[in-house]
Copies of this chain bind each other. A is one copy, B any other.
C-alpha cells in the first residue's frame, strides 16, 4: 500500500534527523531560549525581510491557531473564516473552547475575498442590534487553503487593505505554506506575506519536520506577552531547541523551498495524469493536494494499491477524493500511480 492520504505519513527530512543526532547530547536551556531557536529566528526574519518580526516555535497547527486567535480577540469578538476553513470545522471546537465564535463566509474553493470581508464588516456595524452579535475581530485565511488553492499577490493585497481599513488583523494559517510558495503560478513571496499579514505561520509538520510550526508576528500590537499564551495553550515545548534545530535546518541553504517544490512537481504529475485520462478536478489546486472527481469503481481499483482520502460524494456513482504528495513522496511511487491511472479500464 502506497500512501497518498496525507502529507504527514513519514518522519522527517534526513538532514533534520542528522542534526538532531549531532546535537543530541548538548545541554541547552529550555523553552525556546537556546541558540538554535535564536538562529532559526534569524533565518526566518531574513527570509521575511523583517528584522523586527517576532518568531515563535509551536508544536502543531491546532495550537498555533488557538494560541494566535485567542491572543488577539477580546471576548465579544470572533474570527472570520471561510466556511471550509480548518478552524471552522476540523479543530474539535478548539477556537470556541477559548471563548470565540468562528464567523463563517461562504466559499466554494476554500478562499475568501476582500469584498466578502468588507460586506460582513459593514453588515455587522450597520445592524442596529450589533451589540447583540459577535463582532468580527480578525480574519483567518489559509494559504494554501484546505482545498489546495492559493491567493495571488493582488488578492492578498486587496484582502490586507480591507482588513487594515476595518481594523481587523489578518492571520494566515500556513500549515502548508511551502507548497503554496512552490505553486506553479504563485507570485507571492514570504516577504509579501510578512508585509501583508499581521501574523502567520510557516508549517513544518507537513514540510520536512517531525513536527513544528513557526509563528511570525509582524504587527507590533500583537506581539506583547505572546510567550505566556504559548505556555498557557500547551505549546511551549520544554526541549524547545528541537524546534529551533528543525527550522534552522529547513531555512539553511533553501531546503524548505527545495522540498516544497519536490512535492508540488509530483502533485502536478498526478494532476496531469488524471486530466489526461479525462477526469475533472474538484478544485483548481496547483499545490500538493489534488482533488480528482472519480467514478466509484475507479476508487475501488486504485484503492487496491494506494491509500487516499475520501473528500465528498458527488452523486451515486462519483466521489471527490484527495491525493497528497509531500517532501517525502518518492518519485517512483508517483510514476507507478500514473501508470496505473493510464491503464485504468474505463
Contacts and interface: CB of A to CB of B under 8 A. Distances in A.
A4 to B, nearest CB: 9
A94 to B, nearest CB: 5
Contacts of A91: 132, 231-232
Contact of A210 (B96, B135, B228, B242): B242
B211 A242 contact: yes
B232 A92 contact: yes
- Most chain B beta-carbon neighbours within 10 Å: one of A91, A233, A235: A233
Interface in A94-109: 94, 96-102
A232 B11 contact: no
Interface stretch (A55-63, A147-155, A273-281): A55-63
A10 B30 contact: no
A234 B62 contact: yes
Interface string A68-91: 001100111110000000000111
Contact of A76 (B6, B76, B92, B237): B92
A99 to B, nearest CB: 5
Contacts of A92: 76, 131-134, 228-229, 231-232
Interface string A232-276: 111111110010000000000000000000000000000000000
B63 A234 contact: yes
Contact of A131 (B89, B99, B228): B228
B12 A28 contact: no
A40 to B, nearest CB: 16
Nearest to A7: B238
A5 B92 CA distance: 37
A239 B225 contact: no
A346 interface: no
B90 A133 contact: yes
Contact of A97 (B20, B23, B232, B242): B232
A133 B202 CA distance: 24
A316 interface: no
B12 A27 contact: no
Contacts of A20: 11, 17, 210
Given A10-B27, A97-B75, A90 B239 contact: no
A331 to B, nearest CB: 14
Contacts of A206: 238
B60 A225 contact: no
A129 interface: yes
Contact of A234 (B8, B23, B25, B234): B234
Shortest 3 CB-CB contacts between residues of A and residues of B: A11-B24, A63-B234, A76-B228
27 contacts: A3-B27, A6-B30, A8-B30, A20-B210, A59-B60, A59-B211, A60-B234, A60-B237, A62-B234, A63-B234, A75-B229, A76-B92, A78-B93, A90-B132, A91-B231, A92-B131, A93-B99, A94-B231, A101-B102, A128-B310, A131-B231, A205-B238, A206-B238, A210-B239, A210-B242, A211-B239, A211-B242
